[in-house]
Structure 1
């Protein structure tokens, strides 16, 4: 009887040990999984390194602010943002000198650029429009009048209902994507008169604001109270009118890479396309999310409804 009793007791003790061991193993397994899951969240490693993005000054305010936010979230990353114009951005990324070439125009539109080896990342849309000095006394022009002003046929604002002030044309420099877009869609391809040229959109706004009779053109993001944005044929330069192509002077904001992006370059472009930038920063700075467009435009300028 005693043997039987001790046998049963021994069995129960062994069973208890086995169950306890299983319980501990199961607990450890869940704990490791949770740690792994938590670790996965924490292990979204911050990217590090340094890259350079060069080109469009129309894009520059957007890329600079996005870079600042990205670097705050990734302290080990450095995003160098420079202007110089779309032509500079395309040529330098084409040559492999920089990581990202910012451009207001398609690579196919620029001579000397091998568009086949570049990858296009459409980040946003930018509207562009003519601006004038407040002394001009106008806020609306017909397209024909706009063309005649930039080609030198109209020389005084009184000829288009403004004040008796001589017109001073300010152009962007050759290679500027803003200039190419304005000439193509604002001037219907007409060659503007030889005039003062500026590399920076910010400088253009300053000169127009300080020069009586001055006229030029910049991205909507550069519009401010120091100058007067012009309507064309009664159509206002607004985001809503760009989205429907009622306002035709607009362009995609491209980030080109030489081949598929990797590492920090890919991380930054992905960030530019994230909801954080597309839904917040882009409209906040006066740009237009690509997703808001009701039309599409190709490199030849053909527009189709989405």
Structure 2
């Protein structure tokens, strides 16, 4: 039977509509729900870049708020986020409190990093600090750049004002560098600073250093740029080392992770080791969340691939390798609906 011209003209339109319907069904089948996380500012540059790249590659949305490790742990325990993030390993009670206790808590290392002394003083290039000098600056005992072999100028100390895993890593090392620091101040996500001006997040401290000539503070290596200079820091073997991916990896090799993948070392051994290093962790629920669990698991598996890890290295982080990487992937596999 011969088709009318009108019927022939309608066929391509019908086929196009069918094709579009099939395509839309295929997209919805692979689409995962949006997820949100919050916590440590230390890895925020990597997590936000990962989120953007992951969305481009998969179409799935991830948002991350840099609110500090302390707030991230609290939100994770309260169950108000799909995942948390911290630079300080969880304590025993954290695993059994609130939503973490009800759903099970997984602590997954995602990256390593260095916490480096950083400063703004162009008259003092190539600064080298002993461990004792670093502690004395933050104790308020060294107040002028002349004590560090530089032209005289008052020192402005910059530190975190919020609860922070970066602060924990920094003060943990200062407690090993200086008995006086350990006795008078100690270690913690937040401490009573003897001197200095506070700012929120690595971003805030970096901004404070950038805008305050003569200042010195501590930030993740990824935030050292522009007028902000890194200081070479004396390590356990007496070598002065700058924070790099290589020196950070050497330091992290001295950290032993426990069965929950937590671990720290306040002054790692090794001539090539940077002395203030830490892992940074994603906190995930082991069960529940329905399709959100699939979305979290997919994003974390993607983030532990070679490409995203190497991209993070370009931002100043230390990528996971070897046994730590395999253990992290095994922990992600425990996330169930």
| TM-score (structure 2 length as normaliser) | 0.68
Q: Does 1:46 align with 2:30?
A: yes
Residue in 1 aligned with 2:221? 220
Distance 1:160 1:111, change over 3 A: farther
- Alpha-carbon offset, residue 135 of structure 1: 4.3
Residues of 2 paired with 1:244 and 1:273: CA distance?
20
Q: Deviations over 1:252-271 (max 9, x none)?
A: 12100132482111111111
- Alpha-carbon offset, residue 53 of structure 1: 1.0
Partner SS for 1:248: coil
The worse-fitting range, judged by mean Cα deviation, of 159-168 and 258-267 is: 258-267
Distance 1:125 1:66, change over 3 A: same
Q: Deviations over 1:72-105 (max 9, x none)?
A: 1232x32111011011111111111101111111
Q: Does 1:170 align with 2:158?
A: yes
Residue in 2 aligned with 1:287? 317
Q: Does 1:241 align with 2:272?
A: no
Q: Deviations over 1:7-38 (max 9, x none)?
A: xxxxxxxxxxxxxxxxxxxxxxxxxxxxxxxx
Residues of 2 paired with 1:105 and 1:78: CA distance?
26
Residues of 2 paired with 1:164 and 1:229: CA distance?
19
1:91 aligns with one of 54, 71, 74: 74
1:137 aligns with one of 100, 117, 124: 124
- Alpha-carbon offset, residue 223 of structure 1: 1.2
Aligned residue pairs, count: 251
Unaligned runs of 5+ in 1: 1-41, 295-306
- Alpha-carbon offset, residue 134 of structure 1: 1.9
Q: CA RMSD in A?
A: 2.5
Q: Is the 8 A contact 1:146 1:187 kept in 2?
A: no
- Alpha-carbon offset, residue 166 of structure 1: 0.7
Q: Deviations over 1:87-140 (max 9, x none)?
A: 111111111110111111111289798476420111110111010112462511
2:299 aligns with one of 268, 273, 276: 268
The structure having more radius of gyration, on CA atoms, is 1
- Alpha-carbon offset, residue 186 of structure 1: 3.9
Partner SS for 1:179: helix
Residue in 2 aligned with 1:277? 308
| TM-score (structure 1 length as normaliser) | 0.75
Distance 1:128 1:109, change over 3 A: farther
Q: Deviations over 1:136-193 (max 9, x none)?
A: 6251111101100001111111112122111111111241111111111245364242
Distance 1:282 1:52, change over 3 A: same
Partner SS for 2:137: helix
Partner SS for 2:317: coil
Q: Does 1:63 align with 2:64?
A: no
Distance 1:259 1:111, change over 3 A: closer
Partner SS for 1:98: coil
Residue in 1 aligned with 2:210? 209
* Structure with a larger share of its residues in strand: 1
- Alpha-carbon offset, residue 206 of structure 1: 2.1
1:252 aligns with one of 276, 279, 282: 279
